[in-house]
Chains A and B, each alone.
Chain A
Amino acid sequence: MRYTIMLQLVAATTLVLVLAAAIFAWLQNRPRLEEADSPQVTILLTAKVGLSPFGLGRQSLPS
């Protein structure tokens, strides 16, 4: 009986852990500001960074 309750608890906490891992992965891959689609934001950003609005995304940044 006690072990069954514990098994359910372990299952529930494991679910929380896996969800946390998924959130972590999402956070690390969340759409970045530079990649925003809106032309206005892009222009604003490029104005600051001084890049062409077509060179989107971090990959195209000069290193």
Chain B
Amino acid sequence: MRRLLMHSPIAVALTWISAYLFVTLFPLLLLLLHPMPVERGFWVEFSVALGFIGLALMVLQFVLTARVNRIESSYGIDILLQFHRYSSVVALVLVLVHPVMLFITKPETLQLLNFPQAPWRARLAVLGTVAFLAMVVTTIWRKPLKIAYEPWRAMHSLLALLAVGLGFGHAVGVGYYLSLFWKQVLWGGLILVALWLIVYVRLVKPWLMTKRPYVVESVMPQRGNVWSLVLRPLGHEGFTFQPGQFAWLTLDITPLSMREHPFSMSSSGDRPDQLEFGIKALGDFTSQIQTVKPGTKAYLDGPYGVFTTERYWNSAGFVLIAGGVGITPIYSMLLTAAERHDDRPFLLIYAAPSWEDVTYREALEALKATLDLTIIYVLRKAAEDWSGETGYIDRDLLARHIPIHRGSRQYFICAAPAMMAAVERALLALEVPVTNIHMEHFNLA
């Protein structure tokens, strides 16, 4: 799969798109086996079909967000979540169009909105739609609504289950298409898959994780308000990873009541016995890292991610562009390359607020002894005697440093969203092929 993706991303994309269309349309296809219905008119059938497609799309979202490794390893979690966002909005639109089409073509169905008097199947539809709407609104406007990430996540799962469950209840209640026993079994099966995925992600996987605990070996301050968290596997051998990948970290608490956060490993990918993270104190969880005592238990779910140099064995070299704490996956790439005696050229362009804030500065300089590494620091605020680059990483700055044979390198960017977007635009303007640019978004929500 990975080789295929490197050689033909289009082939892989087409496979996934076909699978997506098939899964969404398959239940509808099955409904065609229904004995020819009493004629209800084109618009009624069209509206019903949109409703069923909307429901199938809703079920599919559970698969997209269940950290299914195979899908994830084709695209990366940020792409997957973005697809989840877009396709959920499509599902919502279809679910909303479904009744509106009925109301327009058969105005008498408007009575179904009269909640106290409406039959149960209509009430379920109204409640399901409200749950779905609430889910989308609280997700798109989470920050303006001032909902913290953790309660939002719990609410999101609950509303998702409610929306799908009520939607299915509505379809069974209407009974027209789902009246045949085995069709109910089939749709019921689909809903059970969705339920199982939620139970698996929220209960089974955490339980499996408790079987493979880690222990905090040390917590050390780094430059730039970043803390190094070093973990050692307890009673198992840990895991190796492709440098640049990340894992979901849970500290101390039982995974059943878990708060897990994603962090890139900053250590060498070939050292399963000692996993290290560089964590910037930004919010409530990350600010607590500095107070974590050695000996504290930790749990990891990983590795995940496609932001890795490992996939590009044949690349002539790498251009790595980091902003602030975005250095963590890139530091892991450099460290692993140094340990493997990789002889290819690495160019690191690293933006930081000031010289004092350059995380891993000394360690990076030390890597130059074993690696063909050039580092360009870009400081926002520099001392008067600073002769290096200042300001932001823009097109001119990149043009000064990246090789003229643009396509001979793979480019990795990890920084704040605005900087990543600007750097990507600049690279594209400098005629770097779009397939050579890779990005890791730290900000998922």
Contacts and interface: CB of A to CB of B under 8 A. Distances in A.
Same complex for A and B? Answer yes
Interface of A: 1-3, 6-7, 9-10, 13-14, 16-18, 20-22, 24-29, 32, 58
B158 interface: no
A21 B50 contact: yes
Contacts, number: 70
Given A17-B21, A18-B50, 13 more contacts: A2-B439, A3-B82, A6-B86, A10-B90, A13-B21, A24-B31, A24-B32, A25-B42, A25-B48, A28-B32, A28-B40, A28-B45, A29-B42
Contacts of A20: 25, 28, 49, 53
A14 B45 contact: no
B39 A58 contact: yes
Interface in B343-372: none
A19 B125 CA distance: 24
B109 to A, nearest CB: 16
Complex A-B, nearest 9 residue pairs according to Cβ-Cβ distance, in ascending order:
A21-B49, A25-B45, A25-B46, A10-B86, A24-B49, A28-B45, A14-B90, A25-B42, A29-B42
Interface of B is mostly: helix
B36 A28 contact: yes
B45 A29 contact: yes
B87 A29 contact: no
Nearest to B28: A24
B46 A22 contact: yes
Contacts of B49: 20-22, 24-25
Contacts of A29: 39-42, 45
Given A6-B86, A7-B86, A10-B86, A21 B32 contact: no
Contacts of A25: 42-46, 48-49
A14 B13 CA distance: 16
24 contacts: A2-B79, A2-B439, A6-B79, A6-B83, A7-B86, A9-B17, A10-B83, A17-B25, A20-B25, A20-B28, A20-B53, A21-B49, A21-B50, A22-B46, A22-B49, A24-B31, A25-B48, A25-B49, A26-B42, A27-B32, A28-B40, A28-B45, A29-B40, A58-B38
